[in-house]
């Protein structure tokens, strides 16, 4: 594996729909008030945070030994492909990019964004980093819903319109639910191994069956809230129903371990496709 390839894999590009979807949806809601430059800057911040948290997780889990013998994407530290300190620096560089671009957004819009950005970066690091990582206590999904749902979507809307509306909150709910679904299936896949190393994710706390219901529930809530938020064109989002039914069927049938890797990938694809359809519905509405 080449040096460039390992860093791309370590960034976990298949999780990037969670960073892209909020900006697409928020920009569609802004419509005539949309500001392309602000949207692009918001997208850079969102992607940089996603990549940063992926590297940070790789580093923190790697030095703790939590990633040993785990299925799924390449772990740079645990697999020995990169030194732990190099992965840590990659996380810091990513967060630095997010901070610098976020500062430019604050200059253009509101200085309050500096505080929001600082909290977002701190939360990204503390997910698996520090002495008491909250990702090890079952709060990962809540954090993802807040930062890659509410904050990312409403923030992307704010930097383009200078306002926060009820609609920007409503559209953030399905975006956050689908981002949570990506993490939920990831944690379901790793549930047994996480339990062995003391990583009490929500999947570990809920157990196998409830974790599967939780994942399906996230897909359902995302669809229902999208239908409410984007009426009368909301029916467009139902086009992904065959895909979500297929994912739900795989989950219900008890897929485990490596069999859940395609579900994780397809969940990210569903989120991106959903965001595009949702954006079209919002624009037409």
**pTM score of the predicted model:** 0.92
Residues 145-201 have pLDDT tens digits of 999 999 999 999 999 999 999 999 999 999 999 999 999 999 999 998 888 888 899
What are the boundaries of each domain within the chain? Answer: 3-284
Assign a CATH topology to domain 3-284. Farnesyl Diphosphate Synthase (1.10.600)
Residues 89-129 have pLDDT tens digits of 999 999 999 999 999 999 999 999 999 999 999 999 999 88
Residues 219-253 have pLDDT tens digits of 999 999 998 887 788 889 999 999 999 999 999 99
Looking at residue 2, what is its pLDDT? 60
The secondary structure of 212-256 as a DSSP string is HHHHHHHHHHHHHHHHHHTTTGGGGGGGGHHHHHHHHHHHHTT--
CA–CA gap between residue 215 and residue 219 (Å, rounded): 7
């Amino acid at each position: 594996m080449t040096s460039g390839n390992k860093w791309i894999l370590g960034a976990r590009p298949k999780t990037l729909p969670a960073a892209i979807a909020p900006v697409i949806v928020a920009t569609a809601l802004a419509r005539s008030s949309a500001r392309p430059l602000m949207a692009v800057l918001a997208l850079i911040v969102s992607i940089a945070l996603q990549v940063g948290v992926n590297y940070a997780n790789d580093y923190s889990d790697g030095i703790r030994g939590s990633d040993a013998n785990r299925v799924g994407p390449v772990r740079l530290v645990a697999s020995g492909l990169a030194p732990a300190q190099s992965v840590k620096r990659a996380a810091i560089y990513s967060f630095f990019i997010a901070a610098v671009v976020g500062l430019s957004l604050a200059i253009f819009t509101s200085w309050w964004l500096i505080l929001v950005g600082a909290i977002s970066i701190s939360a990204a690091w503390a997910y698996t980093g520090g002495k008491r990582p909250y990702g090890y206590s079952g709060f990962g999904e809540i954090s993802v819903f807040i930062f890659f749902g509410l904050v990312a979507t409403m923030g992307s809307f704010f930097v383009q319109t200078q306002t926060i509306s009820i609609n920007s909150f409503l559209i953030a709910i399905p975006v956050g639910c689908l981002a949570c679904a990506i993490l939920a299936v990831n944690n379901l896949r790793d549930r047994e191994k996480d339990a062995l190393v003391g990583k009490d994710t929500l999947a570990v706390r809920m157990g196998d069956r409830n974790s599967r219901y939780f994942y399906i529930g996230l897909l359902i809530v995302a669809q229902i809230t999208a239908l409410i938020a984007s009426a009368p064109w909301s029916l467009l989002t139902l086009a992904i129903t065959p895909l979500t039914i297929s994912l739900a069927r795989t989950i219900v049938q008890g897929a485990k371990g490596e069999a859940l890797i395609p579900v994780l990938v397809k969940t990210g694809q569903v989120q991106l496709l959903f965001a595009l359809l949702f954006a079209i519905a919002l624009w037409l509405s």
